[in-house]
Amino acid sequence: MDAEALYPYPDELLVTTKVGVAGSGPLDEAKLDGRPAVLRAQVEQALRRLRVERIELLQLHRIDPMTPLADQLGALGELQAEGKIGRIGLSEVDVDELDEARGMVDVASVQNRYNLLDREHEPVLAACEAAGIAFLPWRPVAWGESGARAEVAAVAAELDATPTQVALAWLLGHSPVIHPIPGTARIDHLEENLAAESLHLTRAHRDRLDRLSEGAGSAVSPDVTGEPDGE
């Protein structure tokens, strides 16, 4: 996020960003770097870039396996104590990693890949729900091949909605701690995404959609919007 897009920020806007990746470009071409000095430098840079005195929610992009988790979270905890971070979040963690992290800092959010078909992290969602931790699914509007796509489209047609709205509405009704983060590059898609909040899925619709995940495994399917996936 760049400050030019929304600055000066409305009072109700929560500004968030990530740290823990060295370099730029796609994550698979970058390098995880959770060394305390690097995390601190990235936070300081983000404060200047975003023109804020505190980042209300800071996500650790991934846990760096080459740096002790206590060092990574210790650095973020120090920055939080200094008032430069409001809340600390994690990304792509499993239940054990979440439990370990919660023993060191107060975890406000978890951002894992999750959608109607890709429910690999259901145990993490359950742990977040039990602890009152926000769960932020990235790639939230992806679904599978022709069969699943046709079923979602059929539900959308019955509700006079779009398949994207159905996918988001399913997430919003699946757990009270879920806050999807669909990426978008167009105003009309943003409006489409926001309208999903008022879409009512009946129990029958939910049952049909729930069955789509059976046997789906953890395969990642394309984002049908063709837009950034929020990761």
Per the model's pLDDT, the better-predicted residue between 205 and 25 turns out to be 205
Cβ distance 27 to 59 under 8 Å? no
β-strand partners of 55? 85
Cβ distance 110 to 136 under 8 Å? yes
DSSP states of 35-75: -HHHHHHHHHHHHHHHT-S-EEEEEESS--TTS-HHHHHHH
Per-residue pLDDT of 106-157, as tens digits, reads 999 999 999 999 999 999 999 999 999 999 999 998 767 778 889 999 999 9
Mean pLDDT of the chain: 90
pLDDT at 230 over 80: no
Per-residue pLDDT of 66-113, as tens digits, reads 999 999 999 999 999 999 999 999 999 999 999 999 999 999 999 999
Q: What is the pTM of this model?
A: 0.89
